[in-house]
Structure 1
Amino acid sequence: MTGIGGLLKGIRSSGARSPLARTEFEAPGTIVVTSPAFEDGAPIPRRHAGRGVGDDVSPELSWEGVPPSAAALVVLLDDVDVPLPRPLWHSAAVLDPGLSGLAEGGFTTGTPGVRIVPTMLGRHGYSGPRPIPGHGAHHYRFHVLALDRPVPSAATSVKAVLAAAAGHVLARGTLTGTYER
């Protein structure tokens, strides 16, 4: 019997449909994002999968190549294979520009230098991969954007953060992991 994932297998969003694909977010890809938990393009360990699938603990992330003039960092996690018109935002945060990474479990409310931006899935921080069973491998992208200005504290949604960031991205980097159920 084919489940809902099998029925929806051919329906997927794409990175080209992401707001981050717009020209206002073009910037040199000089930020290198890494994690000891998985290599770029490799499967994300179950420990970092979302509620009901794994432990929902954010992986350790580190980055280098942030321009010294950066006034803020934005870290976003999206799923580009979700069967929706646009990728789904799992997690979002505004960080102090001096941070060079997040410890495992650090993508959460209360981490110094991190202001969590609620998403539909991650109200208090990280919300890990939870693809529809049988839908195939999903690609999850951890984006780091370096901005030339701070993000106003009034920007309390991903839409508002992206509006504040548009046209102000100095550099960016992405680490992509996969997950399948």
Structure 2
Amino acid sequence: MAIIGKLLKNRRAGEDGLASNLPNLAGGKTFELTSPDFDHESVLDKIHASKRIGGQDLSPALIWSGVPGDAAQLLLVVEDPDAPTGLPFVHCVALLDPALTALPQGALQTGTATPGVRVLRSGMGRGYQGPAPIKGHGPHRYTFQLFALTTTITEVGGKSPESAKPRDVLAAATAGAKARIDGFYERL
């Protein structure tokens, strides 16, 4: 597998395709997003990585402040802009109650009943999908992006948000403010 990673080393989706760069999500104010499990631009612990590579697929705890008081809903998106794909790989999408100010560790797992959290489809399944970069591809950035939406997402193209594709949910959202924290993970 390391050979494939080395062959694809220069192929990366790039930051331009991240949710936070979409016109409907790019503007507005910023607010604070942190994690007690990792510092911005530090390495994610293996427990947050995919079970396929020996991790536990455990979503990190997140804490935020400064969300505008008129936020109708929060949208959390976790993406990997270093994936060797056309667009960043979506590791998690969730809709959150705007009254929330934090998520405990593991709150984004499928089947976890965290009040105020609606776990949606990701790029592969439902709920948080931990990092699993190709061996030898180099470090991958995992962007945890939180958007304060100006309106509530109740349906996406005639479907419930839970059944819609991640990119369709992103296209249906309009943000008035956003926050971001990044972590890294690499398989040697």
In 2: Cα distance, 1:122 partner to 1:29 partner? 31
1:116 aligns with 2:124: no
3-state SS of 1:52 partner: helix
Shift in alpha-carbon separation, 1:2–1:71, aligned structure 2, 3 A: closer
3-state SS of 1:105 partner: coil
TM-score calculated relative to the size of structure 2 = 0.89
Shift in alpha-carbon separation, 1:7–1:64, aligned structure 2, 3 A: same
In 2: Cα distance, 1:174 partner to 1:81 partner? 16
1:136 aligns with 2:135: no
Contact 2:18 2:79 in 1 (8 A): no
Report matched runs for 1:33-72 at 5 Å.
Answer: 33-53=33-53, 54-72=55-73
In 2: Cα distance, 1:2 partner to 1:99 partner? 41
Report matched runs for 1:80-99 at 5 Å.
Answer: 80-99=81-100
3-state SS of 1:159 partner: helix
Contact 2:2 2:137 in 1 (8 A): no
Shift in alpha-carbon separation, 1:2–1:23, aligned structure 2, 3 A: closer
Report matched runs for 1:153-172 at 5 Å.
Answer: 153=155, 154-155=160-161, 156-157=163-164, 158-165=166-173, 168-172=174-178
Could you list the runs of 5+ residues in structure 1 that have no partner in the other structure?
none
In 2: Cα distance, 1:170 partner to 1:19 partner? 14
Structure 1 position 23, deviation (Å): 2.1
Contact 1:31 1:144 in 2 (8 A): no
TM-score calculated relative to the size of structure 1 = 0.92
Contact 1:75 1:143 in 2 (8 A): yes
Count of residue pairs brought into register by the alignment: 178
In 1: Cα distance, 2:150 partner to 2:23 partner? 16
3-state SS of 1:177 partner: strand
Shift in alpha-carbon separation, 1:175–1:122, aligned structure 2, 3 A: farther
Aligned to 1:105: 106
Could you list the runs of 5+ residues in structure 2 that have no partner in the other structure?
none
Q: Give CA deviations for 1:21-51 in whole Å, capped at 9, x if unaligned.
A: 1322222352211111111001001111112
In 1: Cα distance, 2:137 partner to 2:78 partner? 19
